[in-house]
């Protein structure tokens, strides 16, 4: 017998090997029909998994808010089932759930899917969902799995990566069978509210030298209204696409002569420089010194740092007369050269170097995506050299800095702690101590965190800051990486209190992550309507009639520009309403209208972006208003 504990604390004995679906049926046949999965000892499992020991269970129905990943992953299998029925010779890569949906990588030979094909596949998926196919789990040996999937080279490759003794789970629904660890819904009936969103190319296992598959993206919800609401959000996101806004607002461009290398137009460069100035002042006020290091350095430096062994395939290199040089993919070795330029005392530590460093990394052309994924970008890096005893306090300072910065842009965040990877350098004990220090710093500042096992950098564990924007998307931006390896590789030393030479610890950290990506994120977050302090053009002056009002408009332009505001004058011979509409289209925060009253009484009338209401006030009052708004960062 096994003792089952229910959420209300009630306990009951059942025969060993019983499953959650059978338990639900004993309670009520109606409940069994509503069950989608079970949480067994806190872990979501298949309803049909046998229970062979005492356990706590929670039967999960459509009212649960914990099933979204399960629904999406199950729908990926439904997509594969539909594709196999339409394209019998199809082969399948992997089909995981992702942050907001799922994808499946498929090989359809010479067939290239179109939007019309997605509609056809989606229709078949809904038909299969209506068929209410039972999803059946089976455990097989490696040899049995190889036999089951002998006609699919991708599944065969995945199976061959497993140990000979591995027990492998496969799931079937109708005539379709897939290789998967699960868990899954008990029936396809829960997958009716599905939508295919797009298709793109994806290399098998992320290797540009391997086959290119077609990656089909989709989403699925238990409730129809949730799907409708999500599709509305997607439409809003299209309007906010930073690539579209970048063109409309004349911020940046990309050229075929430099894929993944953004060109900053005047408005975009103003936006970028405003962010850079904000960043530099912020860091100087907090005890950082600002440096700049070369963009290209000798291969020997990258071999010493370990980047050559771990990162050379993603680096751009060039041969010159004294050897091989690499365009830097990281700023940290350069910061170490600055530190080693002199001898340092423990009294100087922590020593904080801040650098807006231009770096380059090779990204496959298919992965490039506006400012979100580029080949050349600016990391807002800082590298702090300190004693091991100072790590906890320094990480707390950094988290406090991030709290301040992200709040200015209206971005909430969560933290993930990425631990020791398989290809780490250094000692396990050192890694354990570093991970413990990061955990303590998070908790002591009131921040919870999620463990991301094995995803640390090769030289140390890290904290990743996941930002959530106004469209409810998650972005990886900030990071804090604790490094107890690199300073030793470069023989970094400081004079300790007892006169001995010791190796400092190094903290790598970036707040924006990259300037380019962060600009893309906030552009979409604000829908292009930047707060006054950040807007490339803060105000646009529109004279009602150039013949009568242009002279006063030019005077206002001169005064506001002298006060440091970014103001433009629209003196074209166009109708006033046309120029006002265009100012709104360009998302200018303030449109200043100059007519007879404004000229005669030395006043200004303004409209805030998105509003038809006009407000009239004196020039000095407007200057005071702008000044306060800029200083408060638009809060």
Q: Name the DSSP letter for residue 566.
A: -
Q: Is 462 in the active site?
A: yes
Q: Is 220 in the active site?
A: no
- Asked whether the beta carbons of 592 and 600 are under 8 A apart, the reply is no
Which residue reads 């059942």 in tokens? Answer: 14
Q: Is 84 in the active site?
A: no
Residue 480 corresponds to which tokens in the numbers above?
Answer: 């804090």
In a 13 Å sphere around the CA of 540, the CA atoms on its Cβ side amount to 24
Separation CA 360–CA 316 (nearest Å): 7
Q: Which of 155, 508, 540, 607 is catalytic?
A: 508
269 bridge partner residues: none
Nearest to 548 by CA among 490, 580, 595: 595
DSSP, residue by residue, 9-45 = S-EEEE-TT-BHHHHHHHH-HHHHHH--EEEETTEEE
Phi, psi of 51 (to 5 degrees): -105, 110
Q: Which of 68, 81, 173, 379 is catalytic?
A: 379
**DSSP alpha helix (H) spans, 314-370:** 332-339
Rg of the chain over all Cα atoms, to the nearest angstrom:
29
- State the pairing for strand pair 539-543/590-594: parallel
DSSP, residue by residue, 257-271 = TSTT-PEEPHHHHHH
**DSSP alpha helix (H) spans, 241-378:** 242-248, 266-285, 299-305, 307-311, 332-339
Q: Which of 35, 75, 219, 332 is catalytic?
A: 332
Which H or E run includes 144? helix 142-148
Show Cβ contacts of residue 542 under 8 Å, excluding neighbours closer than 6 positions: 553, 570, 576, 579, 580, 583, 591, 592, 593, 594
Separation CA 20–CA 22 (nearest Å): 5
Q: Assign 507 to helix, strand or coil.
A: strand
Separation CA 593–CA 616 (nearest Å): 9
Angle between helices 546-562 and 619-631 (to 10 degrees): 40
Q: Is 508 in the active site?
A: yes
Q: Which of 84, 383, 397, 517 is catalytic?
A: 383
Nearest to 34 by CA among 169, 189, 162, 166: 189
Q: Is 332 in the active site?
A: yes
Q: Is 63 in the active site?
A: no
**DSSP alpha helix (H) spans, 286-355:** 299-305, 307-311, 332-339
Q: Which of 39, 215, 462, 586 is catalytic?
A: 462
Residue 239, number of CB atoms within 10 A of its CB = 11
- State the pairing for strand pair 474-483/462-468: antiparallel
Q: Which of 77, 124, 360, 361 is catalytic?
A: 361
Show Cβ contacts of residue 612 under 8 Å, excluding neighbours closer than 6 positions: none
Q: Is 540 in the active site?
A: no
386 bridge partner residues: 505
For the annotated catalytic residues, the residue numbers are 332, 361, 379, 381, 383, 462, 508
């Amino acid at each position: 017998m096994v003792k089952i504990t229910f959420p209300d604390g009630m306990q009951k004995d059942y025969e060993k090997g019983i499953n959650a679906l059978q338990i639900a049926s004993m309670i009520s046949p109606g409940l069994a029909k509503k069950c989608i999965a079970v949480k067994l000892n806190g872990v979501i499992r298949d309803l049909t998994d046998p229970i062979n020991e005492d356990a706590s269970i929670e039967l999960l129905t459509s009212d649960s808010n914990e099933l979204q990943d399960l629904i999406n992953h199950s729908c990926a299998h439904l997509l594969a089932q539909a594709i196999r029925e339409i394209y019998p010779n199809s082969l399948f890569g992997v089909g995981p759930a992702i942050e907001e949906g799922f994808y499946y990588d498929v090989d359809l030979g010479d067939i290239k899917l179109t939007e019309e094909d997605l509609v056809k596949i989606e229709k078949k998926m809904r038909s299969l969902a209506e068929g209410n196919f039972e999803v059946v789990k089976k455990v097989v040996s490696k040899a049995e799995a190889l036999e089951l999937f002998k006609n699919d080279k991708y599944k065969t490759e995945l199976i061959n990566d497993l140990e000979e003794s591995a027990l492998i789970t496969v799931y079937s629904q109708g005539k379709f069978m897939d290789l998967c660890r699960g868990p899954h819904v008990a029936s396809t009936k829960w997958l009716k509210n599905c939508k295919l969103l797009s298709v793109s190319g994806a290399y098998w296992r992320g290797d540009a030298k391997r086959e290119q598959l077609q990656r089909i993206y989709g989403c699925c919800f238990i409730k129809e209204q949730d799907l409708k609401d999500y599709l509305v959000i997607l439409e809003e996101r299209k309007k906010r696409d930073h690539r579209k806004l970048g063109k409309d607002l004349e911020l940046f461009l990309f050229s075929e002569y430099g894929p993944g290398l953004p060109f900053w137009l005047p408005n975009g460069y103003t936006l970028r420089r405003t962010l850079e100035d904000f960043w530099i002042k912020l860091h100087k006020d907090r005890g950082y010194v600002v440096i700049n290091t070369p963009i290209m350095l000798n291969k020997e430096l990258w071999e010493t740092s370990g980047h050559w062994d771990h990162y050379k395939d993603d680096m751009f290199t060039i041969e010159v007369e004294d050897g091989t040089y690499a365009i830097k993919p990281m700023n940290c070795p350069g910061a170490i050269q600055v530190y080693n330029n002199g001898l340092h005392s423990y009294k100087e530590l922590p020593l904080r170097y801040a650098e807006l460093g231009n770096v380059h990394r090779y990204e496959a052309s298919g992965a490039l995506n506006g400012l979100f994924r580029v080949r050349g970008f600016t990391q807002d890096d800082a590298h702090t050299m300190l004693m091991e005893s100072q790590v906890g306090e320094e990480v707390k300072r950094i988290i406090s800095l991030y709290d301040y910065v992200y709040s200015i842009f209206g971005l909430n965040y969560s933290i993930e702690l990425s631990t020791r990877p398989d290809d780490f350098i250094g000692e396990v004990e050192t890694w354990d101590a570093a991970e413990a220090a990061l955990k303590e710093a998070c908790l002591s500042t009131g921040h919870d965190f999620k463990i991301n096992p094995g995803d640390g950098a090769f030289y140390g564990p890290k904290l990743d800051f996941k930002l959530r924007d106004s469209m409810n998307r998650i972005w990886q931006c900030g990071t804090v990486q604790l490094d107890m390896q690199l300073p030793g590789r470069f023989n970094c030393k400081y004079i300790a209190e007892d006169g001995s030479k010791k190796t400092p610890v190094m903290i790598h950290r970036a707040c924006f992550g990259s300037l380019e990506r962060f600009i893309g994120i906030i552009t979409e977050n604000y829908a292009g309507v930047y707060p006054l302090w950040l807007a490339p053009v803060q105000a646009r002056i529109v004279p009602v009639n150039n013949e009568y009002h242009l002279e006063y408009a030019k005077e206002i332009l001169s005064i506001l520009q002298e006060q440091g505001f970014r103001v433009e004058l629209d003196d074209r011979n166009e109708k006033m309403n046309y120029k006002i509409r265009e100012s709104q289209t360009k998302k200018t925060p303030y449109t200043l209208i100059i007519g007879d009253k404004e000229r005669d009484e030395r006043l200004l009338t303004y409209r805030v972006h998105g509003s038809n209401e006009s407000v009239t006030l004196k020039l000095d009052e407007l200057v005071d208003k702008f000044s306060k708004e800029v200083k408060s960062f638009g809060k």
